[in-house]
Structure 1
Amino acid sequence: MLMLRTLPAAVLALLLIPWQLEAATPRANPQENPWVIILGSKPRPAEAQALLESMTEKKPLQWLKPAAEGFPKLVESASLPGLAPGLHVLVLGVCGTRETALAARARVLPMVQDAYVKQLTGPAPLACPTPIPLKARLPKGAVQLASVPFKQDKALVLSIYKVNERSVMECKTNDLLIRLEYGREVLTQESIEGDCRGVCTSGAKQEGEARLAEIRARIEKEEGSESELDYNFVDCLSFTPKFLGVLGGYERPLFFVSTEHLAHHDVVKSYVHAVGALCGKISVSPYNDEPGPYSHPVEYFEHAEARRSTPEDADDNTFDIGVREQGPAADKSATPLWKKVATLDDGGCGLDLSVEER
């Protein structure tokens, strides 16, 4: 796995020199000036170094291979024709065409949202990163449930599919497949699997029915309790992930999905998860088992919207997740009221979703 390297301050001055590569480096087509891929820029060297170091954790090189050792590298903006002087620029590479530059930028956008491409006004040595595609085919019968583009590049999308529908006795289940796609290429994917659990064989059902008959006989004799019937003795239960909706008003595509787990007395409980592309992978927020054996209000997440609750420059990124609802006694023409249903903590490389109690 390629990682950004933290550069000592003593080495930084060596990088902030006019753009130079070996003479043998190929150049762009003379009919088109090359395109530079920029991850960020700062006016002072120390700020540029801090920017480079801050990107290490984000793993921006997860889905591409730099053209040469040392990339991404810090250079003076004046060394590249067409860039405004006086800046220290973090360059991912230089490509011969806009299409190849955009394809490289798309592979870092989920981690570096401010990355952009710019055409130079003169020639420059080429150093275009090479994409690392994931060889993955959609399972037969896959059904796309949603696909949301990144606002910086509409060809880069987060998609979710229902796949592998299957049955075990009376239980029907399926998996969810979340993929980060650029055109026809897959950058990464993650599966949330469904399951059939409980009494899922004919032999186990016969044993369960005998157990139920024994409990009912004891209850009739007032030697047993009705609570003993709460447990599953005869059902093959479906624990199936479900797509709930897309988070609106957020800075990047984010899905809500629910999963089901067995709580006390065999009560099936639903949990809500936030799903997005962070730090080179598909991230799924963990479920919180604190509230008790009652279902979370999963119906709220079909049209949920995000509102930032921390300043833009804060160390943590926290958002209120809510829906707009008509008040119980309000006129239907009145503006719907905002109702908070969850809190989302975006740690940069992980998501945490806390659902409000009913």
Structure 2
Amino acid sequence: MTTGWAEARQVARDAAEPLETITVTLGEALGLVLSEHLPALVSLPLCDTSAMDGYAVRGPAPWTVVGRRLAGPCSPDAALEPGQAFEIATGAPIPVGTEAVLPVELSTVDEGVVTGVLPARDHIRRRGEDIPRGRRVLHRGTVATPAALGLAASVGYDSLRVHRRPRVRVVVSGDELLTAGLPTPGQVRDAIGPLLPGLITAAGGELVDTQFVADRAGALSEAMACDDVDVVAVCGSTSVGPADHLRPVLGTLKAEILVDGVACRPGHPQLLAALPDGRHVVGLPGNPFAALAAGHTLLGPLLSGLAGRSPMAPLTGRLRGAVTARATETRLVPAIRTDDALVPVGRDRAGNLWGAAMADVLAVVPPQWTGPEVEVLPL
């Protein structure tokens, strides 16, 4: 039974339990997902520090300069008496007794004596002012972005507990496919093999390998017989023609079919199955744009869930132009984002990636849509 587009995505998400947790260094964590909350191990700043280059002072002007302090380890015993100053750099710990930092641009120095009018702000960053020790700074399910890794380092982490990436094997079937050079009549260049690695990586997965097989059930079954991956993405062979062997092979493997066809265009003949050994199989249509649409419908949500990513709130936009909704199927329309609208780019036949390559997003046009608001899937 064909499943609605939104429901199919939810089924794929619900089928995915986050994979086991591993410990990795910060350098290895980029793109992985935190498996536990991250509290700050230290306060930021760790102690009271100067927010400006200038002079740490105590009492009213003038101030006699009695020391100098740069950022870095320093004696905790340094102290100021009234009428004294320390030359100080941004980020340096302030001496005990400091009442304010006089910015260098507001100061005058003559033979070791500083004068100037203190501004309203004291230009001191207090201990824990930015992040108190123990404060949760990142939540479980957060993707380790470059900024997140920098934050983790700043609050004391050398390694992180994360979910490992789901491992994916891509199996592309078709006697007509050519992987290099110019095709001859009866041949077509494979476009899905180059398309999927980026989609898999963006969803949090890791491509293990890509295999090209002939349109034979035995060849397909052999390519799917692997125990070192979590997901097998089969491209082509998802329809019901004489060369489409995926469903019979899944039957032989005693797979549970979770989604068998999705009410969307392009990408209708796609499927999701669970194998008895815990692996998942995603069937993608053989037409390139249909495969891309199916990748965003089933493969992306499945990998995202296995990687432990938290669901994101849907992005929306206002679709402009002559777009006709279908009665019972969702349309996925390549579009470009402008300042105030989404503009369809056209050239969106199932076998053609031209429109998708020109687009920023896929606009999700639900059945019987009357506009203008739609969900969008970033490309």
Same fold (TM over 0.5): no
| TM-score, length-scaled by structure 1 | 0.28
| TM-score, length-scaled by structure 2 | 0.27
* Structure with the larger RCO, 1 or 2 (CA within 8 Å, 6+ apart): 2
Hey, which of these two has a bigger chunk of strand by percent?
1
